[in-house]
């Protein structure tokens, strides 16, 4: 079976949508798919209902500035103080497409493996306790490369 790895570096609604679409489509075909969340992409897998331990000043700032989970993502372009993002979400729902939160569930249903990169988590002060349960593994770049080296498709989004 073919294999794909996708690095979701960005935390934008549109880019996350593309990443989940490709990941689920490949996994639905039976591909082995790894989706690695890193840097801004970690916003996508933050669980807004989970509480972190006490944080230092800088991580608290990241907390405030970063989207609080999959429902809180913004468009990479034309966010327009929320107007553009809200219009896009309405269009997606009118077209009966799934929300990012639902796409996460569906990707898991198709067997996509979720990895979270620990280095940016350290930098931004994001704790494992704040991450959604769907994440299979917290990993290093080395582990990612191990997966990517024999994959047929490797994407960085």
Q: Which residues sit at the interface with other proteins, rule CB under 8 A? A: 21, 24-25, 28-30, 95-98, 106, 109-110
> Please, what is the minimum distance in Å from the beta carbon of residue 31 to other proteins?
11
Cα 38 to Cα 78: distance, rounded to the nearest angstrom? 23
Q: Which is nearer to other proteins, 65 or 94 (CB)?
A: 94
Q: Is 70 in contact with 64 (CB distance < 8 Å)?
A: no
Q: What is the CA radius of gyration of the chain?
A: 15
- Whole-number Å distance between alpha carbons of 138 and 131: 10
10 or 24: CB nearest other proteins: 24
Give Cβ neighbours of residue 127 (< 8 Å, ≥ 6 apart).
52, 53, 55, 121
User: Is the CB of 6 or the CB of 126 nearer to other proteins?
Assistant: 6
| Nearest CB to other proteins, comparing residues 28 and 88 | 28
The single-letter DSSP state of residue 127 is -
Least distance to other proteins, CB of residue 68, Å: 27
């Amino acid at each position: 079976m073919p294999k794909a790895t996708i690095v979701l570096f960005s935390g934008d609604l549109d880019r996350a949508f593309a990443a989940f679409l490709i990941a689920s489509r490949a996994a639905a075909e039976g591909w082995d798919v790894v989706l690695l969340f890193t840097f801004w992409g970690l916003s996508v897998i933050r669980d807004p209902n989970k509480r972190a331990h006490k944080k230092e000043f800088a991580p608290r700032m990241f907390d405030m500035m970063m989207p609080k989970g999959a429902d809180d993502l913004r468009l990479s372009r034309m966010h327009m103080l929320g107007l553009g993002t809200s219009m896009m979400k309405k269009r997606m729902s009118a077209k009966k497409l799934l929300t990012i939160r639902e796409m996460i569930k569906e990707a898991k249903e198709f067997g996509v493996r979720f990895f979270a990169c620990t280095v940016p988590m350290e930098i931004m002060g994001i704790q494992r306790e704040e991450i959604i349960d769907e994440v299979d593994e917290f990993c290093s770049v080395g582990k990612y490369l191990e997966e990517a080296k024999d994959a047929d498709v490797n994407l960085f989004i």
